[in-house]
């Protein structure tokens, strides 16, 4: 589908047309959206749900985790391709779907309404993620009350996003996330020298397509929140817009030059998606193996306020007691960066919802950016209040993950 004549500024900035890179080295300069969502990919789904699923069922559902990693990247790539070619945003694309419901200023497509309702369990997941980060902080400072640490993180998140400092912080957090991913790979490798060593027979068992109905809800949540989840698939399209892919391609004019630009920039986008897939696979599978090989074997199941303490056994059992600090710092970086990136991405949806509901004009870019900042300042405290009510990160992330799995077909 080509862009409408009335489509404009946020998605198709003027005077931004640019020829695509011609070599792989040049392509690397224009990668970025996949790097941004990597800060959310390596998050609660991996460190909490994937490890918890491994702890619950052992190796038997390794195939399920691999399916979760690989299947959704296809949807990620196709949605982003549509957005950068058509000039639509994610929500405007959804609003083209058949099946209309009454809205405040006219009818809207039903997926738009469903997506808006999904923010509620999404806030619950945010509370679980910030809560997990707070629990990791308590491992480093045992005398700190968990609720106080979570309150402090909510405040820091709000200040950073309201001030527009998100991009700088994310670069630092991404380095930390990648470092912890390497440490997790090392821990999974060192596990082979312990009593918890993974055998080829256990790996083959994990590829037998068995499904443990006893833990169906946890498995559904793990599928919804590991790899590229529904929120990250849609937010990826916004990062592609802000990276400038759509603007560099330009409006469709039917010319051979437009087709060449489009094919070239879509090649860059596909490279970015492949990079994302590699990162999430390398980040996810070691967590599952550690959960299955260490926690399941030791009979540990993460739950309640002891979630992060139980998960730390993945490191302390393979690397020794000293690694508790390594795990705590890494878990904090993963979960805190995930919460920041998740809130920042969520703020991109609200202006679009207002536009599609007829409550805001598409040309009001200053209003759009103000809404994004206010969203970042307020939503962390909603997560804090929900955590204060639940104080069970696994349950909170499971609720959000189950909803994310149901939202994937949309």
pLDDT value of position 8? 44
The whole-model pTM stands at: 0.75
3-class DSSP assignment, residue 109: strand
Residue 155 has pLDDT above 90, yes or no: yes
* 203: CATH: 1.20.1740
Of the given ranges (108-122, 164-178, 224-238), which has the lowest mean pLDDT?
164-178
pLDDT value of position 401? 76
pLDDT per residue as tens digits for the range 355-364: 888 888 877 7
Q: How far apart (Å, rounded) are the C-alpha atoms in residues 316 and 168?
A: 32
pLDDT value of position 20? 87
Phi and psi torsions of 8, nearest 5°? -155, -115
DSSP 8-state symbol, 21: P
In a domain, 9, yes or no: no
In a domain, 325, yes or no: yes
Q: Hey, what long-range contacts does 21-26 have (CB within 8 A, 24 or more apart)?
A: 21/264, 21/268, 22/264, 24/271
In a domain, 323, yes or no: yes
pLDDT value of position 153? 93
pLDDT value of position 154? 93
In a domain, 53, yes or no: yes
Q: How far apart (Å, rounded) are the C-alpha atoms in residues 139 and 321?
A: 13
3-class DSSP assignment, residue 145: coil
In a domain, 2, yes or no: no
Q: How far apart (Å, rounded) are the C-alpha atoms in residues 242 and 219?
A: 34
Q: What is the mean pLDDT of residues 64-76?
A: 83
In a domain, 400, yes or no: yes
- Range(s) of the domain holding residue 162: 24-407
Question: Tokens standing for 163?
Answer: 């001030």
Residue 14 has pLDDT above 60, yes or no: no
pLDDT per residue as tens digits for the range 303-350: 666 677 777 777 777 777 777 888 888 788 878 888 887 888 888 888
pLDDT per residue as tens digits for the range 248-263: 888 877 788 889 998 9
Of the given ranges (1-5, 44-48, 85-89, 122-126), which has the lowest mean pLDDT?
1-5
Q: How far apart (Å, rounded) are the C-alpha atoms in residues 16 and 235?
A: 22
Q: Which of 8-17, 56-65, 278-287 has the highest mean pLDDT?
A: 56-65
In a domain, 1, yes or no: no
With cut-offs at 50, 70 and 90, classify the pLDDT of residue 378: very high
Pair 156, 384: CB distance under 8 Å: no
Phi and psi torsions of 321, nearest 5°? -60, -30
Of residues 378 and 52, the one with the higher pLDDT is 378
CA dihedral 320, 192, 175, 218 (to 10 degrees): -90
In a domain, 379, yes or no: yes
Pair 161, 350: CB distance under 8 Å: no
* For the chain, percent of residues with pLDDT exceeding 90: 7
Containing H/E element for 98? none
User: What domain count does the chain have?
Assistant: 1
pLDDT per residue as tens digits for the range 197-240: 888 888 888 888 888 777 888 888 777 777 666 677 788 888 78
């Amino acid at each position: 589908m080509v862009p409408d004549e009335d489509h404009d500024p946020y998605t198709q900035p003027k005077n931004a047309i640019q020829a695509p890179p011609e070599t792989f080295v040049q392509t690397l300069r224009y990668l970025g959206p996949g790097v941004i969502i990597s800060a959310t990919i390596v998050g609660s789904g991996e460190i909490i749900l994937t490890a918890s699923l491994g702890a619950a069922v052992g190796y038997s559902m390794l195939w399920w985790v691999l399916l979760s990693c690989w299947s959704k990247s296809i949807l990620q790539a196709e949605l982003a391709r549509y957005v950068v070619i058509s000039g639509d945003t994610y929500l405007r694309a959804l609003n083209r779907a058949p099946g209309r419901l009454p809205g405040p200023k006219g009818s809207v497509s039903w997926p738009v309404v469903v997506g808006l309702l999904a923010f509620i369990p999404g806030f619950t997941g945010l509370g679980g993620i910030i809560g997990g980060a707070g629990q990791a902080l308590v491992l480093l400072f045992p005398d700190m009350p968990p609720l106080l640490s979570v309150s402090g993180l909510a405040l820091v998140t709000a200040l950073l996003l309201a001030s527009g400092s998100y991009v700088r912080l994310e670069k630092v957090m991404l380095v930390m996330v990648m470092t912890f991913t390497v440490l997790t790979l090392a821990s999974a490798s060192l596990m082979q020298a312990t009593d918890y060593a993974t055998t080829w027979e256990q790996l083959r068992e994990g590829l037998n397509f068995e499904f443990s109905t006893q833990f169906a809800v946890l498995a559904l949540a793990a599928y919804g929140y590991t790899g590229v989840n529904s929120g990250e698939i849609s937010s990826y399209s916004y990062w592609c817009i802000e990276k400038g892919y759509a603007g560099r391609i330009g409006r469709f004019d039917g010319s051979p030059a437009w087709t060449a630009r489009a094919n070239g920039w879509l090649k860059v986008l596909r490279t970015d998606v492949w990079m994302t897939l590699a990162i999430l696979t390398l980040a996810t599978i070691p967590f599952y193996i550690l959960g299955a090989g260490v926690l399941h074997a030791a009979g540990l199941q993460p739950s309640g306020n002891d979630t992060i303490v139980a998960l730390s056994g993945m490191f302390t059992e393979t690397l020794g007691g000293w690694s508790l600090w390594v795990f705590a710092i890494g878990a904090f970086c993963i979960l805190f960066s995930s919460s920041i990136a998740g809130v920042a991405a969520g703020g991109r949806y609200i202006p679009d919802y207002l536009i599609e509901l007829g409550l805001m004009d598409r040309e009001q870019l200053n209003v759009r950016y103000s809404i994004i900042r206010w969203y970042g300042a307020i939503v962390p405290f909603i997560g804090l209040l929900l955590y204060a009510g639940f104080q069970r990160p696994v349950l909170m992330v499971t609720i959000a993950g189950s909803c994310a799995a149901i939202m994937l077909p949309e």
